[in-house]
């Protein structure tokens, strides 16, 4: 009878080696879950920085689109075309500040007061119609609305406030726009050789979709802002310049932007009387109809067709997590996710078709 003891599952192995298959499987699964949770926590921790980087990519797509358009007209080096686009952008903001900066600042300071006054009138009218409204509810609602209006007016503050974030976005975006292939190759080199071709194709499609999307946004912003300012100024609506700029900026945010700008426009309009208020409602529908049925279908909708409910859900989530910047970047981020998922679906279809052809060839050879 042998005196040998049964072999232990860990016998003959090092301190970090697991011989038992089931125990090894559970250890690997625990490691994978720990890695996923760790990556999620890290992503949350650096989410603000990631958002800044993505904002820089959006800014770079705008510059790249402008440089490509110039390339169709002027046959010069890309660096000079990017410089021309940046110079024109700077000149526009300088003109905006010099031409209307003082007036717009004064109007922006008066806007919350007008909104609060109009809200009080609306509450009194509802009370006269028999609606039971508590004074505490009125004060809370008024406070929230005024705070919301302050946030909206600070959307222009994307130009004047948050300078550090905007400066980082601008600097990174300019570097990427000057040499996009350099950074594209840098990311590709971190991938396995077999995946690089697919990455280049996906990146190319993402860049194309982003340029078209940003072109649609910019053209829509210009048309909505200019038309709103022109129509309101024609009738003598107060704060026409400020409302035009706010409408143009908020046009970058689908769904929510048009709603917010429309509410502000109508509230300011009714401060000048019923006729002016009805006129601002008419202006709002004319501008939004023109943008929705003419500008967007011609430029961006055919390229990046996103479901409105999905865009609204993304905006709500991004707005809660990151504020105004999250609202501005929700739509571009959703568009990029769609491009990646579409490319993955194409790759899966190609793999399935290849597997079917291989199986068919094997069956034919066996016969």
If you search the block for the tokens 């704060």, which residue do you land on? 239
Q: Is residue 310 part of a domain?
A: yes
Inter-CA distances, 177 with 15, 86, 187, Å: 51, 11, 16
Q: How many CB atoms lie within 10 A of CB 260?
A: 20
CA 319 to CA 2: how far, in whole Å?
A: 73
Q: Cβ neighbours of residue 348 under 8 Å, at least 6 residues apart? A: none
245-248's contacts with Cβ under 8 Å and 24+ in sequence apart are 245/104, 245/156, 246/152, 246/153, 246/155, 246/156, 247/287, 248/221, 248/222, 248/224
Q: Are 188 and 200 in contact (CB under 8 A)?
A: yes
Q: In the chain, helix, strand, coil percent, each to 5? A: 85, 0, 15
How many Å from the N-terminal Cα to the C-terminal Cα in the chain?
Answer: 58
State CA 124 to chain mean position distance: 39
pLDDT of residue 282: 92
CA 120 to CA 135: how far, in whole Å?
A: 11
Q: Is residue 130 part of a domain?
A: yes
Q: Which of 214, 206, 213 is nearest to 180 (CA)?
A: 206
Q: Is residue 274 part of a domain?
A: yes
H/E run at residue 341? helix 324-366
CA atoms within 13 A of residue 333's CA, in its CB half-sphere: 23
pLDDT of residue 108: 62
Q: Is the pLDDT of residue 361 over 90?
A: no
Q: Is residue 12 part of a domain?
A: no
**Domain count of the chain?**
1
Average pLDDT over residues 250-273: 81
Considering the chain, what percentage of its residues have pLDDT values greater than 90? 4
Mean pLDDT estimate for the chain: 77
Measured at the alpha carbon of residue 312, what is the angle toward residues 310 and 315, in degrees to the nearest 5?
110
Per-residue pLDDT tens over the stretch 181-226: 888 888 888 888 888 888 899 888 888 888 888 887 888 888 888 8
Q: Is residue 8 part of a domain?
A: no
CA 221 to CA 230: how far, in whole Å?
A: 14
pLDDT of residue 102: 61
Q: Which of 259, 214, 199 is nearest to 55 (CA)?
A: 214
Instruction: Return the higher-pLDDT residue of 55 and 11.
Output: 55
Q: Are 119 and 112 in contact (CB under 8 A)?
A: no
Here the tokens at position 130 are: 């028999």
Q: Is residue 276 part of a domain?
A: yes
Q: Is the pLDDT of residue 88 over 80?
A: yes
Q: Is residue 30 part of a domain?
A: yes
Range of the domain at 86: 21-348
Mean pLDDT is highest, among 11-20, 90-99, 151-160, 295-304, for 90-99
Q: Is residue 6 part of a domain?
A: no
Average pLDDT over residues 250-268: 81
Could you tell me the pLDDT band of residue 110, with boundaries at 50, 70 and 90? low
Average pLDDT over residues 337-357: 84
Q: How many CB atoms lie within 10 A of CB 193?
A: 8
Here the tokens at position 327 are: 């609202």
Q: Is the pLDDT of residue 42 over 90?
A: no
CA 104 to CA 239: how far, in whole Å?
A: 8
Supply the angle between the helices 47-73 and 324-366 in degrees, to the nearest 10: 80
Length of the chain: 367
Q: Is the pLDDT of residue 17 over 80?
A: no
pLDDT of residue 140: 58
State CA 269 to chain mean position distance: 30
């Amino acid at each position: 009878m042998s005196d040998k003891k049964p072999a232990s599952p860990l016998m003959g192995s090092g301190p970090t080696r697991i011989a038992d298959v089931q125990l090894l499987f559970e250890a690997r699964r625990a490691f994978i879950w720990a890695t996923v949770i760790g990556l999620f926590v890290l992503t949350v921790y650096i989410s603000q920085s990631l958002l800044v980087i993505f904002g820089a990519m959006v800014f770079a797509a705008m510059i790249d689109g402008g440089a490509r358009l110039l390339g169709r007209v002027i046959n010069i080096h890309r660096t000079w075309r990017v410089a021309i686009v940046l110079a024109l952008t700077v000149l526009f903001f300088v003109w905006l500040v010099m031409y209307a900066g003082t007036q717009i600042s004064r109007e922006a300071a008066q806007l919350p007061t007008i909104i609060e006054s109009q809200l009080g009138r609306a509450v009194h009218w509802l009370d006269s119609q028999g609606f039971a409204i508590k004074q505490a509810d009125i004060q809370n609602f008024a406070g929230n609305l005024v705070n919301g209006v302050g946030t909206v007016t600070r959307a222009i503050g994307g130009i004047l406030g948050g300078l550090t974030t905007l400066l980082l976005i601008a600097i990174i975006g300019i570097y990427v726009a000057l040499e996009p292939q350099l950074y594209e190759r840098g990311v590709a080199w971190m991938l396995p050789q077999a995946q690089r071709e697919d990455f280049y194709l996906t990146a190319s499609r993402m860049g194309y979709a982003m340029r078209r999307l940003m072109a649609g946004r910019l053209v829509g912003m210009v048309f909505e802002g200019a038309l709103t300012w022109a129509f309101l100024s024609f009738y003598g609506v107060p704060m026409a310049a400020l409302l035009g700029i706010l409408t143009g900026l908020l046009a970058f945010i689908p769904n929510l932007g048009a709603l917010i700008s429309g509410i502000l426009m109508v509230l300011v309009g009714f401060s000048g009387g019923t006729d002016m208020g009805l006129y601002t409602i008419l202006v709002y529908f004319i501008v939004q109809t023109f943008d929705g049925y003419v500008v967007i279908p011609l430029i961006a909708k055919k390229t990046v067709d996103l479901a409105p409910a999905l865009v609204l859900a993304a905006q709500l989530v991004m707005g809660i997590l990151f504020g105004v910047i999250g609202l501005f970047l929700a739509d571009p981020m959703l568009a990029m996710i769609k491009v990646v998922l579409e490319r993955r679906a194409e790759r899966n279809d190609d793999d399935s078709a290849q597997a079917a052809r291989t199986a068919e060839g094997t069956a034919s050879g066996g016969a």
